[in-house]
Amino acid sequence: MGQSTSAAGKIILNGRRTKLLSSKSPIETEVSPDYTSYLPDECLALVFQFLNSDNRKRCALVCRRWMIVEGRNRHRLSLHARSALITSIPSLFSRFDSVVKLSLKCDRRSVSINDEALAMISLRCRNLKMLKLRACRELTYKGMATFAENCKGLNILSCGSCDFGAEGVKAVLDHCSSLEELSIKRLRNFTDLSHEPIGPGLAASSLKSICLKEHIGECFGPVIAGAKNLRSLKLFRCSGDWDMVLEEMAVKEHGIVEIHLERMQVSDVALAAISNCSSLEILHLVKTPECTNGGLAGIVEKCKCLRKLHIDGWKANLIGDEGLVAVAKFCSKLQELVLIGVNPTTLSLAMLAVKCQNLERLALCGCDTFGDPELSCIAAKCPSLRKLCIKNCPISDLGIENLANGCPGLIKVKIKKCRGVMGGCADWLRTVRPMLSVNADTVEPEGHEEGSNDAVEGGLQENRIEFPSLNSQIVAPSLASSTRSRSGYFKSRVGLFSGISLVACTLRQRESS
């Protein structure tokens, strides 16, 4: 009422216009606002911390702001340390200017970065706390010395297959007073001068963990003996007289809690020295053929806080029931026991089960005397046992049946290469104990497979059709294809068709003849 025709026309046009706008495709509609622009950089960086490395890389490509925020808040960086990296160092570390953990790895066939590249990195990462070097063979002790002078706050140094020798390690020890962890594996380029003893330097008070692999004892012995607050010592395949080194270490009260000796020339003299470390909690004696029951008994008698004990006797029969009885007598706090190439019997196992009520993890590998009676003893007397691993031991289905009736706290069992245990017994154990995780080999009875093949071949010969070794060519791929991959399935089909064509050709030749 009171509206003119022109006003009515405008209303109609506006209605049509709104319909046209609503019918536009999603591409033509207005872009929704970016709500992340209202987030402070600190909140956006916090979100990035919950993402893995690949997703963070994708987020950095969204926009310039995200790239800047992601780069400034990335504290860990892993790079391929090839020689061509030197040209990218300025731009790379301008973007990632907050890196405190750096890993430089090079493959064996490539030329690694040199001293100049490492010096450039040290100038741009003065707050570096951790450095890992792998196969950086072009680095020398001069480059390590320059790096140590620029990054004096380094806490962790881990190097493997490098060529800067002991002098490069000495430079880090002399300049980095905050160094806590030192891991050196397969260090090369030892000269006559580098065989001289190396002291802990300024890191004497801060060193807490030392790991050496394939080194000379006379060279790094003073570092171990001079570390005042050492907590963990791991030695792998290191040559030299280590009895003397460990004696020097044990003279001082370090408060050491973990010692790992693998393929080392140590005897009961070294074990007697280790027994002075009364706070020891973790001990690994792996393939140390000169260690005996007496040395082990001397350790456990004084180190009553032992929680984890790993022994690989290398089937030398120098550590057995006598040493394990001493462990049971003095180490009531034992939680984990691993025996490899050791021959325990029910005598020691029964004492371990009774005295070590906190034993939760037990592993036995290559123990020739661990059979059904020993397994039954464990099942009956270890209520706290949670994880059990048995490998290459003479147990049978009878022992597994006794295990099913015992160990009420058991949650995981692994049985490998035990020929007396058949696959059906493992399935039965899963049925009886449905909450138990069972990982077992499936060993078929001997003669079963041969009998089935003989029956097939006999039936084929009765029908006067000969298949020269064709039976195995068809059956074996089809079985593998059911458990491995789709490609195996197609290969089996090709083998089947080729076998059929071979049979057809043979029949045609006989008919023509």
Tokens of residue 419, six digits: 């020929």
Residue 319 and residue 265 share a domain: yes
What's the whole-number mean pLDDT along residues 298-323?
A: 95
338: tokens are: 């691993």
**pLDDT tens for each residue of 14-23:** 554 444 444 4
Contact 388, 412 (CB under 8 A): yes
Residues 306 and 384 in one domain: no
Helix, strand, coil percent content, the chain, rounded in steps of 5: 45, 15, 40
User: Token pair of 41, please?
Assistant: 């950089």
Answer whether residue 341 is part of any domain. no
Query: What pLDDT is attached to residue 506?
Result: 45
Judged by DSSP in three states, 152 sits in: coil
Q: Are residues 83 and 158 in the same domain?
A: yes
pLDDT level of residue 34 (50, 70, 90 thresholds)? confident
Residue 314: both structure tokens together: 């290398």
Mean pLDDT is lowest, of 31-35, 86-90, 134-138, 275-279, for: 31-35
How many CA atoms does the CB half-sphere of 127 hold within 13 Å? 8
Residues ≥6 apart with Cβ < 8 Å to 474 = 492, 495, 496, 499
Pair (221, 175) in one structural domain: yes
DSSP state letters, 177-234: TT--EEEEES-----TGGGS----GGGGTT--EEEEES-BHHHHHHHHHH-TT--EEE
Predicted local distance difference test score (pLDDT) of residue 458: 38
pLDDT digits (tens, 9 = 90+) for 208-230: 999 999 877 678 889 999 999 99
The CA distance from 119 to 101, in Å, is 16
- At 339-392, the pLDDT tens digits run 999 999 999 999 999 999 999 999 999 999 999 999 999 999 999 999 999 999
- Neighbour tally for 462: CB within 10 Å: 8
What is the per-residue pLDDT for 196? 67
What is the model's pLDDT at position 295?
A: 96
Q: 506 and 433 in one domain?
A: no
Pairing of strands 308-312, 412-416: unpaired
pLDDT for the residue numbered 45 = 83
Query: Does residue 333 sit within a domain?
Result: no
Q: Are 223 and 173 in contact (CB under 8 A)?
A: yes
Least confident segment among 139-148, 395-404, 472-481 = 472-481
- pLDDT higher than 90, residue 323: yes
Tokens 């009553």 label which residue? Answer: 304
In whole angstroms, what is the distance from residue 378 CA to residue 370 CA?
Answer: 11
Same-domain pairing of 224 and 288: no
402/314 same-domain check = no
Written as six digits, the tokens of 423 are 């696959």
pLDDT at 202: 94
> Could you tell me if 97 and 186 lie in one domain?
yes
**Boundary of a domain, candidates 181, 205, 236:** 236
> What average pLDDT does this structure show over 312-329?
95
Residue 407 sits in the same domain as residue 378: yes
Give which of 67, 24, 21 is closest to 48, Cα–Cα: 67
**Does 459 fall in a domain?**
yes
- Residue 470 has a pLDDT of 34
Identity of residue 209: S
Domain count, the chain: 4
Which residue segment(s) compose the domain that 197 sits in?
75-236
Q: Are residues 401 and 258 in the same domain?
A: no
pLDDT attached to residue 192: 46
Q: How many other CB atoms are there within 10 angstroms of residue 324's CB atom? A: 27
Secondary structure of 7-72 in HEC code, one letter for each residue: HHHHHHHHHHHHHHHHCCCHHHCCCCCCHHHHCCHHHHHHHHCCCCHHHHHHHHCCCHHHHHHHHH
Average pLDDT over residues 34-53: 82
Look at residue 131 and tell me if it is in a domain: yes
Question: Bigger pLDDT: 313 or 46?
Answer: 313
Amino acid 241: pLDDT: 83
Q: What is the pLDDT of residues 124-151, one digit of tens each?
A: 999 999 999 999 999 999 999 999 999 9
Last residue of a domain, one of 204, 236, 268: 236
- CA atoms 265, 133, 105, 136: torsion sign: negative
d(C-alpha 98, C-alpha 134), whole Å: 22
| 229 and 261 fall within a common domain | no
In a domain, 36, yes or no: no
- Decide: residue 131, CB within 10 A, 0-12 exposed, 13-18 middle, 19+ buried: buried
* pLDDT in the model for residue 58: 87
Say how far apart CA 53 and CA 483 lie, in whole Å: 33
**pTM given for the model:** 0.77
Bigger pLDDT: 444 vs 276 = 276
Same domain, 230 and 248: no
pLDDT for 372 equals: 96
Residue 157 pLDDT:
97
CATH number, position 437 = 3.80.10.10
Going 26 to 27 to 28 to 30, the CA torsion angle's sign is: positive
Query: Taking a C-beta distance cutoff of 8 angstroms, is the pair 145, 118 a contact?
Result: no
Q: How confident is the model at residue 55 (pLDDT cuts 50, 70, 90)?
A: confident
Please provide the average confidence, as pLDDT, over all residues in the chain.
82
In a domain, 431, yes or no: yes
Give the mean model confidence (pLDDT) for residues 183-204: 78
Higher-pLDDT residue of 71 and 280 is 280
pLDDT score, position 442: 58
Q: What is the pLDDT of residues 138-193, one digit of tens each?
A: 999 999 999 999 999 999 999 999 999 889 999 999 999 999 999 999 888 765 44
Confidence bin at 6 (pLDDT 50/70/90): low
E strands present in 392-499: 412-416, 437-440
Residue where one domain finishes, among candidates 428, 443, 458: 443
Is residue 10, in this structure, part of any structural domain at all?
Answer: no
Whether 21 is in a domain gets the answer: no
